[in-house]
Structure 1
Amino acid sequence: MSGYSGCEVAVRAEAELGEGPTWDPATGRLVWLDILGMRIHTYDPSSGRRTVRTTEQHIGAAKPRAGGGLVLNLRDGVGLLDPDDTFRWLHHEPVPGRRANDAAVAPDGSLWAGTMRYDEAAGGGTLSRLSGAGDMRTVLPDVTVSNGTGWSPDGRLMYYADTPTRRVDVFDYDAGGIRNRRPLVEIEEGAGFPDGLTVDADGCVWVALWNGGAVRRYTPDGALDRVVTVPAPLTTACAFGGPALTDLYITTARVSLARPTALSGSLLVIPTAAQGLPQPPFQG
């Protein structure tokens, strides 16, 4: 196992709950969020230009669409944001006490959207598959904090973290369905909880550790391969970006911290960390 820190500051910020880094190849920008601050951030690493857009409710994920714009996993459902900033609901399903959390686009272009209870009640969340036409199917009921979701390079495996379980699980994936759930890794006590994740071109899984101040890389057989120390204890998610998809972007949070670090809530980056995979856009 090799370890390094190497974190650099991409955007110094004070996001309450920074999350969801996603590279948008069409615009050459990194999209990331402040869930509780209800903000969609973009960052252009070539120019340093940043934008911020406020949403009307808590937002768990924002992913590029095939025709431009973003698909948004929001408190009350999933919506579409057009390139001209026009918004419309694709699937509107408010549930009192529940909000959106992490989401990811599958190899077939569907959105796999997670939810959780505000009080984090056990089994109060879900993971659902949403087609481009707006058809939604619950794939995993009784989830507590639906978080990181990603696919192997060949698209045959799906990785998933329900954070309080301390596990990253793996499923067989085929034609939009999953089966044969089994643990890939279990995070030991005191090391934090698995939050957002991404998969690299070697099939290794990078996992951000909430309350662990680290990102870990696991091989496809579950062996710990690298540890990245992050200068913020609430490490929330990671994704590859940059023109060559070799820079690892890491989001952090400061919510609930009595004494946040100087970089809690900032967007960090590790240049040339590994080779990432192109992410499919949402087909809606």
Structure 2
Amino acid sequence: MSGPVYEVAVRAEAELGEGPTWDPVRGRLLWLDILGARVHTYDPVTGRRTVRTTDQHVGAVKPGADGGLVLNLRDGVALLGPDDSLRWLHHEPVPGRRANDAAVAPDGALWAGTMRYDEAPGGGTLSRLTADGTVETVLDDVAVSNGIGWSPDGRLMYYIDSPTRRVDVFDHDGGRVANRRPFVEVETGEGFPDGLTVDADGCVWVALWDGGAVRRYTPGGALDRVIELPTPRVTACAFGGPGLTDLYVTTARVGLGAPHPVAGSLLVVPGAGRGVAQPAFG
């Protein structure tokens, strides 16, 4: 079940690299360093890269329908306009809490997660935000809110609260979720599920924190592919590139006692599969 060989797309030393997202309008990959408070872009055709520092820790960045970006920041969700202006869409600072992973649903709403810095059980949330600023807390008892994704037909939503070691699945309809149940569980000693993406075949790709790999599970929950990587803290994955066939993988350096040459870099597995175009926020 070994997968294809990885390449280093961007050699970096991100403390907590996260959140790869393909921006189809600009033909670039968005990713970030949560604890470094940096938003990165990378164009795989030209090799052009940019880095923007934010005023606070940033958990996710996604393309906006207006050509700007939506940011899941420590104190809430903000919009970064095409003119580089920043304004809060939802401002809710909570001492000891920060933003984490987020994803845009098929209807254009943002599902944004939070967690406490100390990862205390029940200290995090998962909320749904629309472009008019309406916020609904969907889950209020999360420890480390992480990967979120939808089946190609939008009828299922996958979700990870990392300490549970599970990927859960919900029925999804019109922005509502119900019938939460386990999809797969990662065995003790094989790492914690972190970020995820869903491919065009409905298979779920899961990055393993302290597992040094990305796993692909079939829609039925069977493990059918493992891409092993040379650094333990693999955080998230997403398909990108002109044909959405390359799997981009973020990694982290934080907490590693021994040096790992590619830890904190953005990796890519060319031709790993076939992704699904993601909607813009709003």
Superposition TM-score, scaled by structure 2 size: 0.99
Query: Deviation string for 1:62-82 (max 9, x for gaps)?
Result: 000111010000000000001
Asked if structure 1 preserves the Cα contact closer than 8 Å seen for 2:75 and 2:91, the reply is yes
Q: How many angstroms does 1:46 deviate by? A: 0.3
Deviation per CA, 1:156-210: give whole Å up to 9, x if none.
Answer: 0000000000000000000101000000000001110000000000000000000
Using the aligned pairs only, state the percent identity: 76
Measure, in 1, the Cα distance between the counterparts of 2:239 and 2:185.
Answer: 23
**Alpha-carbon separation, structure 1, partners of 2:11 and 2:4:** 17
Q: 3-state DSSP class of the match of 1:33?
A: strand
**Equivalent residue number for residue 236 of structure 1:** 235
| d(CA) in 2 for partners of 1:260, 1:25 | 35
Q: Deviations over 1:238-279 (max 9, x none)?
A: 000001100000000000111130000000000010000000
- 1:281 is matched with which residue? 280
- Cα distance between partner residues in 1 of 2:108 and 2:74: 22
- Do the aligned residues in 2 keep the contact of 1:5 with 1:230 (CA within 8 Å)? no
The residue that corresponds to 2:215 in the other structure is 216
- 1:60 matched to 2:46? The reply is no
Q: Which amino acid aligns with 2:240?
A: G
Counterpart position of 1:185: 184
Structure 2 gap ranges (5+): none
Q: Which residue of 2 aligns with 1:169?
A: 168
Aligned to 2:28: 29
Following the alignment from structure 2 to structure 1, what is the Cα–Cα distance between the partners of residues 46 and 222?
38
Match of residue 152 from structure 2: 153
Q: Which amino acid aligns with 2:201?
A: D
Residue 259 of structure 2 is matched in structure 1 by 260
The answer to whether the Cα contact below 8 Å between 2:100 and 2:146 also exists between their aligned partners in 1 is yes
Q: TM-score, normalised by structure 1?
A: 0.99
For 2:7 and 2:244, how far apart are their aligned partners in 1?
16
Cα deviation for residue 5 of structure 1 reads 4.3
CA deviation string 1:77-114 (max 9, x = no partner) = 00000112110000000000000000000011000000
1:231 to partner: Cα distance: 1.4
1:226 alignment counterpart: 225
Q: Distance in 2 between matches of 1:134 and 1:221?
A: 36
Q: Kindly indicate whether the alpha-carbon contact (under 8 Å) linking 1:40 and 1:54 is maintained by their aligned counterparts in 2.
A: yes
Alignment partner, residue 13 of structure 2: 14
| One-letter amino acid matched to 1:163 | S
- The residue type equivalent to 1:191 in the other structure is E
CA distance in 1, matches of 2:245, 2:84: 30
- SS of structure 1 residue aligned to 2:2: strand
Write the distance in 1 (CA, Å) between the matches of 2:245 and 2:2.
17
Structure 1 runs (4+) greater than 2 angstroms displaced: none
Q: Distance in 2 between matches of 1:4 and 1:151?
A: 23
How many residue pairs match? The answer is 282
Unaligned stretches of 5+ in structure 1?
Answer: none
Indicate conservation of the 8 Å contact 2:165/2:185, yes or no: yes
**Contact 2:41–2:51 (CA under 8 A) maintained in structure 1:** yes
Tell me the distance in 2 between the aligned counterparts of 1:69 and 1:272. 29
